[in-house]
Amino acid sequence: MDFAHTPKMLELQSHLQVFMDRYVIPANVEWHREVEAGRYPLALIDRLKERAKAEGLWNLFLPGLREDEPGKRLSNVEYAPLAEIMGRVPWASEVFNCSAPDTGNMELLHLFASPEQRERWLMPLLEGDIRSCIGITEPDAASSDPTNLQTTIKREGDHYVINGRKWFTSGAAHPNARFVIVMGLSDTRPEAEPHARHSMVIVPLDTPGLRVVRNVPILNHHSPEGHCEVTYKNVRVPVKNLVGEEGRGFALAQARLGPGRVHHCMRTIGQCEVALELMCERALERKTFGRHLADYANIQDWIAQSRIEIEQARLLTMRAAWMMDTAGNKAARNEIAAIKVVAARLQTTVCDRAIQVFGAMGLTPDTPLAFLYTWGRALRFVDGPDEVHLRTIARQEIKKAKENRRTMADFMVPPLI
Amino acid sequence: MDFAHTPKMLELQSHLQVFMDRYVIPANVEWHREVEAGRYPLALIDRLKERAKAEGLWNLFLPGLREDEPGKRLSNVEYAPLAEIMGRVPWASEVFNCSAPDTGNMELLHLFASPEQRERWLMPLLEGDIRSCIGITEPDAASSDPTNLQTTIKREGDHYVINGRKWFTSGAAHPNARFVIVMGLSDTRPEAEPHARHSMVIVPLDTPGLRVVRNVPILNHHSPEGHCEVTYKNVRVPVKNLVGEEGRGFALAQARLGPGRVHHCMRTIGQCEVALELMCERALERKTFGRHLADYANIQDWIAQSRIEIEQARLLTMRAAWMMDTAGNKAARNEIAAIKVVAARLQTTVCDRAIQVFGAMGLTPDTPLAFLYTWGRALRFVDGPDEVHLRTIARQEIKKAKENRRTMADFMVPPLI
Amino acid sequence: MDFAHTPKMLELQSHLQVFMDRYVIPANVEWHREVEAGRYPLALIDRLKERAKAEGLWNLFLPGLREDEPGKRLSNVEYAPLAEIMGRVPWASEVFNCSAPDTGNMELLHLFASPEQRERWLMPLLEGDIRSCIGITEPDAASSDPTNLQTTIKREGDHYVINGRKWFTSGAAHPNARFVIVMGLSDTRPEAEPHARHSMVIVPLDTPGLRVVRNVPILNHHSPEGHCEVTYKNVRVPVKNLVGEEGRGFALAQARLGPGRVHHCMRTIGQCEVALELMCERALERKTFGRHLADYANIQDWIAQSRIEIEQARLLTMRAAWMMDTAGNKAARNEIAAIKVVAARLQTTVCDRAIQVFGAMGLTPDTPLAFLYTWGRALRFVDGPDEVHLRTIARQEIKKAKENRRTMADFMVPPLI
Amino acid sequence: MDFAHTPKMLELQSHLQVFMDRYVIPANVEWHREVEAGRYPLALIDRLKERAKAEGLWNLFLPGLREDEPGKRLSNVEYAPLAEIMGRVPWASEVFNCSAPDTGNMELLHLFASPEQRERWLMPLLEGDIRSCIGITEPDAASSDPTNLQTTIKREGDHYVINGRKWFTSGAAHPNARFVIVMGLSDTRPEAEPHARHSMVIVPLDTPGLRVVRNVPILNHHSPEGHCEVTYKNVRVPVKNLVGEEGRGFALAQARLGPGRVHHCMRTIGQCEVALELMCERALERKTFGRHLADYANIQDWIAQSRIEIEQARLLTMRAAWMMDTAGNKAARNEIAAIKVVAARLQTTVCDRAIQVFGAMGLTPDTPLAFLYTWGRALRFVDGPDEVHLRTIARQEIKKAKENRRTMADFMVPPLI
């Protein structure tokens, strides 16, 4: 066991940190002003993307990039600390072409795209020329159990015809978004195997019948890129837009999710570090009853707890990344479920404490905490609610116990009677 | 001990509930549409106010109304359950002229207004013709320790001159708001007693030098009435605008806060009841893995916990109201501190569970939960952060222990050695 | 609503408190010495019982005492605060003939005993001449679901023959214990209604075949009276020992439990008050890093939280008692479930904090905390685990939601799309 | 970063696991019977020690063993997983000569013993021929702040004279215990530097004036080896019994504690794994309301939470061990503080859940849970209460914030007004 980062990793982290310090963080206020003013898409993002690409800080997230694809070819372990560094500024990942849901789509297409799909959709994504969406979640189906999905993808001759309603289609309000990968029922026969009924198809956003009906605020927060509600009414796409095989939608969704969860978690950890730093700095400047908040033992407990919880979350996430690298995404399934639960809760917990230390200012948009706290709450649904992940982990433990069933025999001490 | 409501209370509750069911709840969607559309102030509010006044559901909150003042003359115990009923719809209290911060201002002026102030400011408030604000909180002073307040109220001849910056001045964006009661330092001598340095003065909102600089969103939520930042630059008001005596600002603030906290808490409890009802109904309609959420033991635990916590919070609040009625607001100081902590935490806890049961829909504005959850978080600062209330309670306990110091003597069992 | 105690209640409380201060608390160390030395039963208990009876502080718990039965005839609301006062000293209730499980047995026999049973078993209990046990819990049946009970009570001619194994039969190690009321299956037909299969019979402890096989320690604590494991091997008792009717065991068990839970909870609250007082006194005497623990904000938070939680638990319990008095034990079912959950958790929470303030001394038998903390943990099983009570409450809420189903209709704000 | 164990580690773990399975676990019931029967010291321990030594599973804990000292010379990272395996059976460490407080004493003497001390005290300890104690904690001093210690160690000619009272002197009731290392004030001048006032001396347990006055039960649990109260009344030892230098007691105590905390934590984790396995197996066998506990979502949540928390605690502990190996014990100070807090809380949390799944049986001595739960509570004091560790961590964070003070500047978004 070795907890040290390799020299390669340390160098990458340092390079990225310098970039962040030099270019990204100084642009943070400008970013907020531009978004408030509705000047979207943001010129500053394009400017920064160009620079990041020039410095080779590009597509850092995709382990198996081909030689002809631009990017770094990092392992998950190598990438994870970079996601943390980027995550400190919630809008920064896009600068390095590492933002969700594009990263998941790139992974998916990288694995399953036809040559034509590759050329038309993947390459522009890898170049950062366009953005994309994923359409899985539906208003009327608990996403913890995706067999409930109701959107249909019906083959008619050379086309698929899509009907349904999706929401939380992130990025659909971004002016550069060009397509959405829609998941839906392609096999509606009652006898079909529940996990083999769904398919994924690429749907250009300008296809007739597709309508972005609204940009849904999340805990009052209007994202400029949008978490959109999208209706599909007889939307027709050619059969060649199918991703992978028909009926394999679930497998694709699974393949897509693992690395993305590591990314989310590491970004969360970066944001929690920011919140903890803010909490400490505010505790040093704010006084009540003649003493700085930093001198109060309850505030100190919050600070220490936050530090401990962040360290534990980071180690768990790094271990999950390492398992994905060494044993594969599937073998890391429980580890990924665990970090998803841990990180989302961490963000609300740490930001809640930070807000309390800030006082009412913590509720205002003058600090990043209001956004981070509410986004942390939302994270408890992103990629599945906590409960479904806990269930996955519990079932694995119970299965182990069923197979073992030795511990009670070994450790009980029957009374002498 | 008798936990029953009197017939008078039951009748009032029933009257109010019928009014809510018949007029207020059916107007809820319209209210949201109007606010979204920015049509503020709302015609529907005026309509409902008129009707409520006609039915005598008016100024329910003020125990000691004079005969010439319109309203019901209810005790705190009688009023509290009504506040809960109104609180279920966050905008409803105004309909009955029972909304903060006007209620607190009416209490204050009722106790301390000069005849002229009474005529000019209190009576229009009691009639519901105008609205008002209170300016205490400042960006640069932890409100847990109000001796830090920096705004100055300086006597110059027949005027007070006010300089400073306040925020979270609720209601200042309401078109009918006419004045703000400002608290500030009137005695800046270093040797002045810290709790006798402050005064309160009435400042009409159109006084030159007073500027509402922004309506501060609270956890991303833009309130139409506003929680505003207000600057005072050489704002001059006549000496007769002083409320009570010079140097008595603290005592006035204390007098003003007690009943208001009971109101806040009971409204919170009403909102938690709504959240719990929503949680149960959603759990009955939503399915995962073949079973309704209502059949899962973890969801059941959340529901039961919520019921228990709500009941406990309500009893504690009713007891505080009863203490105010029977022993006075000052004697109920610790009880009021306790309910403030309990209710604010309750709201985030119960709404957090309800959101989780709803799934991602719980994050959207389609349910009241997103607002209630974030408002619950804000409540942990309204009228002072949890920590200052806990400190108050702890100091009282420690004081009792200091005076008693018998329990260790009575209960320790020294070893036989 | 009136939170005041009646003059009668205040007088009783004062009388009891004086008795406790004068006689019981000064005997506390002696009690521990005697128990450690194994001199059981304790002469001091007999001495104190005599005195309590002489002062009329006797059988305070039983509302419906007949005129020929010794005792006070108090309502549940009148008794509850007395249970709290007695509960401060864990062994004190016996002094006033108010200790479990005798209280429950007296209630049961009071309601259902035949005249002969009344004479032979109830009257000596009411006089405090003997003690008794209840045998429900079994090692191999989750007591959260008593349909699992396996002990059989088989009619053979004029006798019932009992076979089975019970544990946590409290009091069976007390030298004065004379009988146990055993609950078991009297109807083993598979088609029998699950809640009509059980009966209760009185079994003298010296009946052949009944064996107290061990006194089971609870979290390492050896109770002198015992929480015993008892085996029944062809134990024969005459048919007249049946309590109530055959097949009515469940109904009897329910009738017996309600008031007992209020008693338990109020004693718990008394013990939590002791723990809180100890915590405060210790915080005043103990220093680290130059300051008393009482000056640290984290310790203050623990103290304040404890005060708030105790107040809330007491109010909830008093309300449950009031409901039993005014609406009957059955109507108070959910309230009783709620206090059971709240009080048990309260005791571990408050004692845990008190132990932490004491430092390692809190782990020793030199303070009452070690016993109270572990007993608090045990309380989470006494009369059913938390989970079964939460389930009861949740089902009631869900049932209400099913019948109402209006809140979503009333409060949702559908999007304008 | 590499989370894999080396082949050497895996082989050691497998060797130890086989030994545990073959010899230790089968002896567990016998161990309990012998201890209950008071046949102490236990022949079975001697038997197992001999075998473990023969197999080379001996002194696994001490990284820097000299060539002439028996043992394995493992790093902390190599040892930690072995501590977890041993820890599953609370009494097993002694079998491998790895039990506290001997391990700490061996470390201390290994670093600081004079040649004579080495021969007389260290070598017999390393051989497992004798056992030893450490005397730091005092009844009247909060051990979170050891400058409060009051025991004096006064030089008189060629002797030190020791006076004072210590408690929680673990192992002092073990028949093979031969000496205690006592820490006390050797410099009582008021002007002496607080951290340079204390010294440590070796005191044979049979020295006149030393009296083991009682074996203090911990949360009702009587340890056979004892956590003893020991009085020192004019206890004289020769000057050569001084460990290290005079006035260096604190430094010695610090040096001694780091590795011991890693050991404690890893043993805790082993015990939590046992508790989790028991919880799962019990959930598979126990039924309520027609379903196995393992099928209830609340039980599943407890299981999953426990798995997640255990994984996180283990990773944090392994990282602390790795830091000790690579950067030294001092550099790992905050990491060690963190694992101390995490592990102690983990044990009560996981065992609490396991007890609840077991039902009342979880309170009895028939499962290991009652001991593990109460010992977990005690762990929150062993080597310092949680609060002192949290304080250490918080101070470090606050110091970093003081030096950095950039985050607010970087991340705040001042309003446009």
Q: Does B219 touch chain A (CB under 8 A)?
A: yes
Q: Report angle CA B31, B36, B41 to the nearest 5 degrees.
A: 60
| Chain D stretch 39-98, residues whose beta carbon is closer than 8 A to a beta carbon of chain A | 77
Nearest Cα residue in chain C from A294: C297
Compute how many other C-beta atoms are within 10 angstroms of the C-beta atom of residue A64.
10
| DSSP state letter for B218 | B
B393 lies within 8 A of chain C by CB? yes
Whether domain C250-404 has CATH 1.20.140.10: yes
pLDDT tens per residue, range D67-125 = 888 888 899 999 999 999 999 999 999 999 999 999 999 999 999 999 999 999 999 99
Residues C86-114 pLDDT 10s: 999 999 999 999 999 999 999 999 999 99
Residue C36, sorted as left (phi over 0), alpha (psi -120 to 50) or beta, turns out to be alpha
Which of A222, A360, A386 lies nearest to residue B168, judging by beta carbons? A360
CB atoms within 10 A of CB A403: 8
Residue C254 vs residue A48, higher pLDDT: A48
Comma-separated ranges of CATH 2.40.110.10 domains in chain A: 131-243
In this prediction, residue D116 carries a pLDDT of 97
Confidence check: pLDDT of B145 > 80? no
Query: What pLDDT, on a 0 to 100 scale, did the predictor assign at position A108?
Result: 95
Neighbours of B146 (CB within 10 A): 22
B11 phi, psi to nearest 5 deg: -65, -45
Long-range contacts of A27-34 (CB under 8 A, 24+ apart): A28/A89, A28/D410, A28/D411, A28/D413, A29/D413, A29/D414, A31/A91, A32/A365, A32/D413, A33/D416
The pair of three-digit structure tokens given for residue B318, joined into one six-digit string: 């009713």
pLDDT of residue B39: 87
Closest among D155, D125, D143, D152 to D61, alpha carbons compared: D125
CATH 1.20.140.10 maps onto chain D at: 251-404
Interface test with B, best of C23, C75, C280, C351 (most B CBs within 10 A): C280
Nearest to C387 by CA among A391, D348, B350, D296: D296
**Could you identify the residue written with the tokens 């009980």?**
A412
Element (H, E) at C103: helix C102-112
What b/e sequence results for B333-349 when a residue is b if at least 16 CB atoms lie within 10 Å of its CB, and e otherwise?
bbbbbbbbbbbbbbbbb
With contact defined as beta carbons under 8 Å apart, do C140 and C150 qualify?
Answer: yes
Is the CB of A140 inside 8 Å of chain D's CB atoms?
Answer: no
Q: What is the pLDDT of residues B65-74, one digit of tens each?
A: 888 888 888 9
Residue C386 in tokens: 């938390």
Angle CA(C141)–CA(C146)–CA(C150) in degrees, nearest 5? 50
Q: Measured between alpha carbons, how far is A294 from A292 in angstroms, rounded to an integer?
A: 5
Cβ pair A227, A218 in contact under 8 A: yes
Using the predicted structure, report yes or no on whether residue C416 has a pLDDT greater than 90: no
Average pLDDT rounded to a whole number, residues A104-132: 96
pLDDT at A218: 96
- Write down the pLDDT at residue A221: 94
A279/A284 Cα distance (integer angstroms): 9
Q: Which helix (H) or strand (E) holds B202?
A: strand B198-204
Is A210 in the D-facing interface, judged by CB distances under 8 Å? no
Is the Cβ pair B28, C410 closer than 8 Å?
A: yes
Residue B143 above 90 pLDDT? no
Q: Closest partner residue to A319 among D3, D5, D29, by Cβ?
A: D3
Tell me the shortest Cα–Cα distance from A406 to chain D, in angstroms: 9
The domain A250-402 belongs to what CATH superfamily? Answer: Butyryl-CoA Dehydrogenase, subunit A, domain 3 (1.20.140.10)
Q: What is the pLDDT of residues B313-367, one digit of tens each?
A: 999 999 999 999 999 998 999 999 999 999 999 999 999 999 999 999 999 999 9
Q: Is the pLDDT of residue A417 over 80?
A: no
Nearest to B303 among C294, C319, C394 (CB): C394
Nearest CA to C394 out of B69, A398, B303 is that of B303
**Secondary structure (3-state) at B198:** strand
Please report, as a single letter, which amino acid is at residue B77.
V
Measure A275 CA to nearest chain D CA, in Å. Answer: 9
Other Cβ atoms closer than 10 A to A409: 10
Class of domain B7-98: mainly alpha
Determine if the peptide bond prior to B63 is cis (ω within 30°): no
Distance CA C106, CA C96 (A): 14
Calpha distance A254→A251 (Å, rounded): 5
Q: What percent of chain C has pLDDT over 90?
A: 87
Residue D346 makes CB contacts below 8 A (sequence gap 6+) with: D268, D269, D272, D309, D310, D313, D376
Residue in this structure with the two tokens 């130890």, named with its chain if needed: D16
Assess whether pLDDT exceeds 90 at residue A143.
Answer: no
pLDDT at residue A341, rounded to an integer = 97
Omega before residue C101 within 30° of 0, cis: yes
Q: What are D157's two structure tokens?
A: 């000619």
If one counts every other C-beta atom within 10 angstroms of the C-beta of residue D54, the result is: 9
- Tens digits of residue pLDDT in A342-351: 999 999 999 9
Is the pLDDT at C117 greater than 90? The verdict is yes
3-state secondary structure (DSSP) of residue D196: helix
Report DSSP state, residue A6.
P
Nearest to C110 by CA among C102, C122, C124: C122
Topology of domain A7-99, per CATH? Butyryl-Coa Dehydrogenase, subunit A; domain 1 (1.10.540)
CB-based burial, B1-32: b 16+ in 10 Å, e otherwise: bebebeeebeebbeebeebbeebbbebbeebb
In which residue ranges of chain C is CATH 1.20.140.10 found? 250-404
What is the crossing angle of helices B369-379 and B333-358, to 10°? 150
Looking at residue C345, its pLDDT comes to 97
| Choices 3.40.630.10, 3.40.50.2000, 3.30.420.40, 2.40.110.10: CATH for A131-243 | 2.40.110.10
pLDDT above 90: residue C142: no
Q: Which residue has the tokens 């008093």?
A: C318
pLDDT of C143 higher than 80: no
CA distances from C173 to A5, A381, C305 (A): 63, 54, 38
B168-207: per-residue pLDDT in tens? 999 999 999 999 999 999 999 989 998 899 999 999 999 9
Q: How many beta-carbon pairs below 8 A join chains A and D?
A: 214
D7-100 under CATH 1.10.3210.10, yes or no? no
Residues of chain B with CATH 1.10.540.10: 7-98
Q: What is the CA radius of gyration of chain A?
A: 23
- ipTM summary value: 0.96
Query: Per-residue DSSP letters for B156-190?
Result: ETTEEEEEEEEEEEETTTSTTEEEEEEEEES---T
The answer to whether A212 touches A229, Cβ cutoff 8 Å, is yes
Superfamily (CATH) of domain D251-404? Butyryl-CoA Dehydrogenase, subunit A, domain 3 (1.20.140.10)
Q: pTM above the 0.90 mark?
A: yes
Which residues 241-280 in chain C show a CB within 8 A of chain B?
Answer: 274, 276-278, 280
- Would you state the pLDDT for residue D107? 93
- The whole-angstrom separation of Cα A41 and Cα A225 is 9
Subunits with at least 3 CB pairs below 8 A relative to chain D? A, B, C
Q: Select from D228, D230, D273, D275 the least CA-distant residue to D374.
A: D275
- The C-alpha atoms of residue A242 and residue A154 are separated, in whole angstroms, by 11
Give the residues across from C227 on adjacent strands.
C170
Q: What is the mean pLDDT of residues B34-53?
A: 93
Chains touching B (at least 3 CB pairs under 8 A) are A, C, D
pLDDT reading at D146 higher than 80: no
Q: Say whether A337 sits in a helix, a strand or coil.
A: helix
Residue D40 predicted with pLDDT over 90: no
Whether the Cβ atoms of residue A342 and residue A313 lie closer than 8 Å to each other? yes
Superfamily for B251-403? Butyryl-CoA Dehydrogenase, subunit A, domain 3 (1.20.140.10)
